[in-house]
Structure 1
Amino acid sequence: MNRKVKTAIAGFGRSGCDIHARYLKTDPRFEVVAVADELDDRREDAVKAFGCKTFHNAKELIAAGGFELLVNATPSRFHVETSLAGLQAGFHVLSEKPSATTVAEFDAITAAAEKADKLFFPFQNSRFYPYFRKIREVIASGVLGRIICIRSNWSGYGRRWDWQTRQDQCAGNLFNTGPHPVDQALVLFGDATPQVFCRMAAYHFDFGGDANNFCALTLYGDGAPTIEIQVSSFQAYPQGEQYNIQGTLGGLTGGPSGLRWKYFDPARAPKHTLWKPWSDRRQYCSETLNWQEETWSFPDPSSNANGFTDLSAGVYDNIYDILVNGAQRIITLDQVRRQIYVMEEAHRQNPLPRIELN
């Protein structure tokens, strides 16, 4: 360990406390020296956890300084302004998702980072899921052939009545859960910007919410796989596994607990010629392929490698290596910019009615 990175956390709610602080307590390379939150009990929790200074809000924290890295875990509607303020004050910034709601906002943040000669890090921890790394490895091996279609389902059944149901809070399924599957999808899609088709809806009973809680998103483009993502709060029964991938030589299915995939060797497959002009003896095409099947299981069920704490390690490991050793980014700004574009376009296609709070 060369040195410690002095770190401040703006926002000590669900992500600030339960994700970032929980991880940072385990990593001696980072020293939490300050926390900001409007609620007294949360500031008290921060003092108990780190013995650090506390502030009532991000503005006071940034003005006081005394740190190198600002963790922006404020509520979603404050992400852009807090990231801009931190960068303009001369600090590196790690932002919770969504890091922005429009491409224009994201470009303003990256421009501010460049002007200040500081670094902006979007927090895309789902990139480090063990199962997702294995999916990328299997696809890269070529055994599945050309990837045709990828289906990704991040759904369940759950009613909500908190701020994550409000459009004026930059909330909803796509902004809340969506950055995880969209980030993974764009890695699998490739370097091009996808075409987007989306249908979203908001069904909040009589709770007063107006943000989307059903989202069906399709990404497509020339030479790239078609990727279908569903983030629904109304899936009462499981529908298959989280991922189902179709390739010309086989397919893969599975999720965080394990994967299985099968494929065949085209050199060993039966040879055929096209039937002309009709089917042979009124038969359907039929053959026996020499399928090879492999499996992967989550290596250590007793570990937390599928949990937020261990997933955070991948992000913070890379940040430390960048700040201290000049390493390259694993999560590039271009990848996240395309994610913001996808989500902005999805919302543009689905202008949902807004409900005014009484």
Structure 2
Amino acid sequence: MKRLRTAIIGLGRVGWQFHLQEAARHQGFEVAAVVDPLPERREEARAKFGAWGYPDHRALLAAEALDLVVIASPTQFHAEQALAAFEAGCDVFCDKPLAPSLAEADRMIAAAQQHGRKLTVYQPHRGRVETVALQDILRRGLLGAPYLMKRAEARYVRRNDWQAFRAHGGGMLNNYGAHYIDQLLYVAGSPAKRIRCVLRTIASLGDAEDVVKALIETESGVMLDVDINMAAAQEMSPWQVLGARGSATLDLGARAWRVRYYLPEELPPQELHEGLAAPGREYPRDPAIPWREETFPLANYAGVDFYEECYRFFALGEPPFVPIEASRELMRVLEACRADAG
């Protein structure tokens, strides 16, 4: 098996808890080095993983011959670090969002092409088990044509870390919106056509938004409703999909999708009245619809192994699980959300 000499830039939450652990777990990656400004984090990585530590990406690239650089630093540093990695002859696996702005994302994409290097982005929600299960439900056609997909996250958090500051690329649009909007675009399978968005800062201790309300219409006509609220005292239903013949709701407690739908051949007839006088002065009533209900446990599905997909892309030349064009479309939508919110 070909092994990729890999460096992880950033040993914070996602860098330490996910990228470093997953790269070390997979036999196709040799974690040769890490980057973090805190010496105690570098020493911890050296002790646990045998990876040499550097205080910044410049020192890393000057000293190491690498195949792959994984960027898990705060968003504001992504472009600078990726450009340097490409110039050093490395491929790049970048955490989401790709960059703070579409212009910087385009610079990164252009640099990868200029240097003949590969670039993909960590968009984990498109590979989560609930996404895999939902795709199966949609393939079965139980809901009919989907017309609305809603993704929500709500709790009360007085944000007090770097994600609370606009200057660092923080805020819930970049943080959670980059997950949920990508997830919805992926499931809908269509680019965004119209985008409306409202951003508010309510409970956060910084200046970046902690409330996001976005409504996106895709080119195929599906409405994508994103509701991220970090100033809510009660939770919201996390995921709902509405189709012409039924709906699906994710039940996190039961770890299952609950689906309610009807079969067209079982639907009772309904007469259309064009006149302005309502028959019998009664409000319209639909005959009893023979609803069917099914439960799709998440235990029956498997999520995507992201680092296995990365290995296939970087080492074996297979198509990426997250095409860079999809990441650019996400960046375009995030930028349009900010512009519409004013």
Letter in 2 for 1:242: P
Give the 3 Å change call, closer, same or farther, for CA 50–174 of structure 1 in structure 2: same
CA contact (8 A) 2:75 2:100 kept: no
CA contact (8 A) 1:125 1:314 kept: no
Give the CA RMSD over aligned residues.
1.8
Give the 3 Å change call, closer, same or farther, for CA 255–185 of structure 1 in structure 2: farther
Q: Do structure 1's residue 157 and structure 2's residue 156 form an aligned pair?
A: yes
Unpaired runs of at least 5, structure 2: none
How far the C-alpha of 1:216 sits from its partner, in A, is 0.5
Please give the secondary structure, in 2, of the residue aligned with 1:237: coil
* Whole-angstrom distance in 2 between the partners of 1:287 and 1:68: 64
Q: Do structure 1's residue 315 and structure 2's residue 306 form an aligned pair?
A: yes
1:291 corresponds in structure 2 to 291
Letter in 2 for 1:211: A
* Whole-angstrom distance in 1 between the partners of 2:203 and 2:55: 32
* Whole-angstrom distance in 2 between the partners of 1:343 and 1:68: 30
* Whole-angstrom distance in 1 between the partners of 2:158 and 2:104: 30
Q: Do structure 1's residue 324 and structure 2's residue 315 form an aligned pair?
A: yes
* Whole-angstrom distance in 1 between the partners of 2:323 and 2:221: 20
Percent identical pairs in the alignment equals 27
* Whole-angstrom distance in 1 between the partners of 2:58 and 2:190: 37
Matches within 5 A, 1:12-161: 12-161=11-160
TM-score, scaled relative to structure 1: 0.90
* Whole-angstrom distance in 2 between the partners of 1:268 and 1:262: 14
Matches within 5 A, 1:101-250: 101-204=100-203, 207=205, 209-239=206-236, 241-250=237-246
TM-score, scaled relative to structure 2: 0.94
Letter in 1 for 2:307: Y
How far the C-alpha of 1:338 sits from its partner, in A, is 1.0
* Whole-angstrom distance in 1 between the partners of 2:122 and 2:218: 26
Please give the secondary structure, in 2, of the residue aligned with 1:275: coil
Please give the secondary structure, in 2, of the residue aligned with 1:212: coil
How far the C-alpha of 1:24 sits from its partner, in A, is 2.1
Q: Do structure 1's residue 265 and structure 2's residue 263 form an aligned pair?
A: yes
CA contact (8 A) 1:98 1:179 kept: yes
CA contact (8 A) 2:126 2:183 kept: yes
* Whole-angstrom distance in 2 between the partners of 1:83 and 1:41: 24
Please give the secondary structure, in 2, of the residue aligned with 1:145: coil
* Whole-angstrom distance in 2 between the partners of 1:244 and 1:193: 19
CA contact (8 A) 2:196 2:341 kept: no
* Whole-angstrom distance in 2 between the partners of 1:28 and 1:325: 14
Q: Which stretch shifts more, 48-57 or 321-330?
A: 321-330
Please give the secondary structure, in 2, of the residue aligned with 1:273: coil
How far the C-alpha of 1:211 sits from its partner, in A, is 0.5
Q: Deviations over 1:4-30 (max 9, x none)?
A: 111101111111111111222322221
Q: Do structure 1's residue 345 and structure 2's residue 336 form an aligned pair?
A: yes
Q: Do structure 1's residue 254 and structure 2's residue 250 form an aligned pair?
A: yes
Q: How many residues are matched?
A: 338
Q: Deviations over 1:215-258 (max 9, x none)?
A: 1111014532111101111121122x211111110000015522
How far the C-alpha of 1:112 sits from its partner, in A, is 0.8
